[in-house]
Amino acid sequence: MGSGMSKTLRATCENGVVTAENTTIQEARVLSSGIGASQGVVILDDERADYIPDTTSDLEETIDQTIALAEAAAEGLSATSSAIGVVGAEAGVAAPALAALQVPIDLAASSLEDVAAALEELKGRLK
């Protein structure tokens, strides 16, 4: 016999153990992996207790890490392209031949910069 209203309590979860109001919520369903420590809410509805984590901060952190990775990779590719140009010129390789090597590398670097920018915009739209 549910009330149709349910009761929501602030809760934490670690290693599958949900805690609210300084008490372990026994028989709570954890609607996440439940392994790492998290904060969220437990919803009591009739005899059910469901724990839902607040994943916003996790998501932001993951996006930040991906942006950093994309930017580092773009930087690395740009450096590689520059190095090819320098070494090739010193070795007397014709410019068209060098360009054929550098263009795809530069395009890849540019794509990664676009990905980083798109993720930055996505992060700004997180509610």
Partner 1 sequence: MRIVVRHGHFAFYSGFEGDIFRFCDYFSTNLVRENDYYTFPNLQGLPRYSIKGKKYGNFTASKNFEGPAPWDVMKANGIVYDVAGAALVPKANFAVRADPKLVEGFYLSATSILQPGALTKAGRRIVSYDGFLIEGLWQLRLNGFGYE
Token pair listed for 116: 């980083």
**Contact between 11 and partner 1 (CB under 8 A)?**
no
Question: Which residues have CB under 8 Å from 67's CB, separation 6+?
Answer: 116, 119, 120, 123
**Contact between 46 and partner 1 (CB under 8 A)?**
yes
One residue of 5, 91, 96, 125 binding partner 1 per CB under 8 A: 5
**Contact between 121 and partner 1 (CB under 8 A)?**
no
| Among 1, 2, 23, CA closest to 11 | 23
Question: Which residues have CB under 8 Å from 21's CB, separation 6+?
Answer: 9
Considering only the stretches 38-46, 64-72, 74-82, 89-97, report the one whose residues sit in contact with partner 1 under the rule CB under 8 A: 38-46
One residue of 30, 49, 77, 98 binding partner 1 per CB under 8 A: 49
The residues binding partner 1 (CB under 8 A) are 1-7, 20-21, 23-28, 44-49
